[in-house]
């Protein structure tokens, strides 16, 4: 059984359209009760980010009577196989958008040369710690900001190495859109695309984690083995399209391909120089990023912000991305699952203090009423009237991708659950029903075990209380991955709490 086929049949996000897949946001509830992804009507509300473009520190307050010009904000995660050029491209973007000066670049050039890694200086902009620079591999998700005409972007530069997939998951779970970086260099596209390669794993994870749109950048087009060859570009595009479809992306609506050279900076900020590549007439990366449309979230829905980090700084400061609702200075909120009541003392977007912030924003929030020790990553800052459910057990639909050593999947199976910022040991306590791969309906007969490729509804238990939502209510807080021994074994969605 083809695993990708199975992922598609799980339909984490979609019913079929002409393309075989649709955007979750477009989908209407379906009569089939297991495959339906009753799209949260709240998610369809068209609303704009609510915070104002900051003019100066501490005054970035949107005036409700006379709104200031607002620029939308998007989190974009850079994903793809190890060494595809994610950090280099991210670094080049920052350089081209004026975030890094020439002096710094020269310093990095020298440092890279001293490490006999001449070509890696651009990656140093994103790879800031010594281990990353010495090994030439991103470990922690790098975070940086830049702006285009229409949008403020936060770049999340994920590591490509398979050892750091959990970090990639944390990056992707914060993102709205993804830039999938593929190396066109001879042999490199092939290894990334192979089974077990991270081009595949990242795409599947990104889809599961709610990365709605993908820009697929075919990178290293300048490499001597490629030399801006249209044939190579077309080959990569034609191989990627079926795979992206199988992974649940609507290739016509949600995916855009473009050739670039991250290292040379070609086709990034300005359109392709025809003397470099005569056949490309499409957009450059900045244009493509500018033009991307994502369904905006309702700032009026109940507040939810999964916490990814915390520290002490004149009180307790938490970090995370607002998944739903709006936060205002002075608000009283719960830190779930413990229902600790807290007060919002200050809200920061980047360096700017703001009075309020809406969905999609990455924030630092200073709280009173709680000690830093009482917060763990995975906790959720939540509205008091409508707090996020806290559970130790839930019912989920899983697509089994690849079990270790082709093991069987049965009650008692243990894995690590990744859901928004939660990372928690879990156990499958009961298999309820298998989904028939043909009809996509639950099968009648009792199921005791399933194998690779199966699609199954089961009860999942965790040791510690976690805060999650039904996929149908809050897709971002209701989709998850199961991993074991460093590999993703299943993807799933929460059906019932
Ligand atoms: P990980 O973080 O380890 O997953 O790698 P990465 O995807 O961030 O790749 P990185 O940016 O570190 O680049 C890896 C290597 O590819 C470096 O030697 C880069 O100089 C090289 N590279 C990146 N982009 C390009 C490009 O556009 N052209 C050429 N020729 N080389 C590139
Ligand atoms: Mg990197």
CB 493 within 8 Å of CB 176: no
Q: Report in angstroms the alpha-carbon separations of 303 from 318, 323, 334, 421, 474.
A: 15, 8, 10, 16, 11
Between 65 and 430, residue with greater pLDDT: 430
Instruction: Name the band, by pLDDT with cuts 50, 70 and 90, for residue 454.
Output: confident
Check residue 53 and give its pLDDT. 36
The protein residue with its alpha carbon nearest to ligand 1, atom 10, reads: 85
Q: Compute the distance from residue 173 Cα to the ligand 2 centre, in Å.
A: 18
What the block records as the tokens of 70 is: 């607002």
Locus of tokens 């710690």? 129
Q: What is the dihedral of CA 128, 129, 133, 134, to 10 degrees?
A: 170
Q: Is 120 in the pocket of ligand 1 (CB under 6 A)?
A: yes
Nearest residue (by CA) to ligand 1, atom 2, is: 138
For the Cβ of 262 lying below 6 angstroms from any atom of ligand 1, the answer is yes
When comparing pLDDT for 406 and 99, which is higher?
Answer: 99
* Ligand 1 pocket test target in 80, 84, 88 with most atoms within 8 Å of CB: 88
Average of per-residue pLDDT values in the chain: 84
Q: Whose CA is closest to atom 13 on ligand 1?
A: 85
pLDDT, tens digit, for every residue of 115-154?
888 899 999 999 998 999 999 999 989 989 999 888 989 9
Q: Which one-letter DSSP state was computed for residue 212?
A: -
Judged against a pLDDT cut of 60, whether residue 297 lies above it is answered with: yes
pLDDT > 80? residue 456: yes
Q: What is the mean pLDDT of residues 427-456?
A: 86
User: Within 10 A of 452 (CB to CB), how many other CB atoms are there?
Assistant: 17
Among 176, 9, 37, smallest CA distance to 494 is for 37
The pLDDT assigned to 69 comes to 36
- Which residue has the CA at smallest separation from atom 24 of ligand 1? 85
Task: Specify the pLDDT at position 17.
Answer: 31
DSSP 60-115: B---SSSPPP--EEEEEEEE-STTSSHHHHHHHHHHHTTSS-HHHHHHHHHHHHHT
Is any atom of ligand 1 closer than 6 Å to the C-beta of 222?
yes
Q: Whose CA is nearest to atom 22 of ligand 1?
A: 85
Give Cα 122 to chain centroid, integer Å.
Answer: 23
Ligand 2 centroid, distance to 290 Cα (angstroms): 23
Model confidence band, residue 295 (pLDDT cutoffs 50, 70, 90): confident
Average pLDDT, integer, range 247-264:
94
469 lines ligand 1 (CB under 6 A): no
Distance (Å) from CA 86 to ligand 1 centroid: 6
- Asked if the model's pLDDT at residue 175 lies above 90, the reply is no
pLDDT in tens, 31-89: 222 233 333 333 333 333 333 333 333 334 443 332 333 678 888 999 999 999 999 99
Give this prediction's pTM: 0.73
Looking at the CA of residue 80, tell me the nearest atom of ligand 1: 7
And the tokens for 495? Answer: 């059906």
Average pLDDT over residues 296-315: 88
Task: Tell me, using a 6 A CB cutoff, whether residue 119 lines ligand 1.
Answer: yes
CA-to-CA dists, residue 80 to 8, 168, 224, angstroms: 20, 10, 21
Helix (H, G, I), strand (E, B) or coil at 182: strand
Q: Which two tokens stand for residue 335?
A: 């830190």
**C-alpha gyration radius of the chain:** 22
From ligand 1's centre to the CA of 85, what distance in Å? 3
Per-residue pLDDT tens over the stretch 183-208: 999 999 999 998 878 998 899 888 87
- DSSP code of residue 289: H
Q: Which of 262, 264, 267 to mutate to test the pocket of ligand 1 (most atoms within 8 A of CB)?
A: 262
Identify which of 90, 92, 94, 135 has the alpha carbon closest to the alpha carbon of residue 112.
135
Bigger pLDDT: 70 vs 357:
357
**Phi and psi torsions of 153, nearest 5°:** -110, 140
Q: What is the pLDDT of residue 95?
A: 95
Show the CA angle centred on residue 143, arms to residues 142 and 147, nearest 5°: 135
Characterise 438 by phi-psi region: left (phi > 0), alpha (psi -120 to 50), beta (else): alpha
């Amino acid at each position: 059984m083809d695993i990708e086929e199975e992922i598609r049949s799980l339909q984490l996000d979609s019913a079929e359209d002409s393309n075989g897949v649709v955007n979750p946001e477009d989908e209407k509830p379906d009569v089939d009760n297991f495959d339906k992804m009753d799209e949260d009507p709240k998610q369809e509300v068209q609303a704009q980010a609510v915070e104002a473009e900051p003019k100066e520190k501490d005054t970035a307050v949107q005036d409700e009577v006379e709104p200031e010009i607002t620029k939308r904000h998007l989190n974009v995660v850079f994903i793809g196989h190890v060494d595809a050029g994610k950090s280099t491209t991210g670094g080049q973007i920052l350089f081209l958008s004026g975030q890094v000066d020439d002096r710094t670049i020269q310093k990095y050039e020298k440092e890279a040369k001293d490490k006999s890694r001449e070509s890696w200086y651009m990656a140093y902009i994103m790879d800031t710690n010594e281990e990353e620079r010495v090994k030439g591999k991103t470990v922690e998700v790098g975070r940086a900001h830049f702006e285009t005409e229409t949008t403020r972007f936060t770049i999340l530069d994920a590591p490509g190495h398979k050892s750091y997939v959990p970090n990639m998951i944390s990056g992707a779970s914060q993102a709205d859109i993804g830039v999938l970086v593929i190396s066109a260099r001879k042999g490199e596209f092939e290894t990334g695309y192979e089974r077990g390669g991270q081009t595949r794993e990242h795409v599947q994870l990104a889809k599961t984690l709610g990365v709605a749109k993908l820009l697929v950048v075919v990178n290293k087009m300048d490499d001597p083995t490629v030399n801006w060859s249209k044939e190579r570009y077309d080959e990569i595009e034609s191989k990627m399209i079926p795979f992206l479809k199988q992974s649940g992306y609507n290739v016509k609506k949600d995916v855009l391909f473009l050739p670039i050279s991250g290292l040379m900076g070609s086709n990034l900020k300005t359109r392709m120089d025809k003397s470099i590549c005569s056949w490309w007439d499409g957009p450059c990366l900045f244009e493509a990023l500018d033009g991307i449309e994502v369904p905006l979230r309702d700032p009026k829905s109940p507040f939810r912000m999964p916490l990814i980090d915390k520290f002490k700084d004149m009180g307790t400061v938490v970090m995370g991305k607002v998944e739903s609702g709006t936060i205002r200075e002075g608000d009283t909120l719960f830190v779930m699952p413990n229902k600790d009541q807290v007060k919002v003392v200050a809200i920061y977007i980047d360096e700017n203090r703001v009075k309020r912030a809406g969905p999609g924003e990455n924030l630092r929030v200073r709280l009173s009423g709680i000690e830093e020790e009482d917060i763990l990553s995975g906790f959720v800052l939540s509205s008091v009237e409508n707090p996020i459910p806290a559970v130790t057990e839930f019912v989920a639909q899983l697509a089994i991708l690849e079990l270790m050593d082709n093991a069987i999947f049965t009650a008692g199976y243990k894995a690590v659950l990744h859901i928004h910022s939660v990372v928690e040991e879990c156990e499958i306590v009961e298999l309820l029903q298998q989904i028939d791969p043909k009809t996509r309906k639950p099968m009648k007969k009792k199921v005791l075990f399933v194998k690779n490729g199966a699609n199954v509804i089961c009860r999942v238990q965790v040791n510690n209380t976690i805060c999650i939502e039904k996929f149908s209510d809050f897709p971002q807080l209701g989709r998850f991955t199961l991993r074991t021994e460093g590999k993703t074994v299943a993807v799933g969605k929460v059906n019932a709490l």
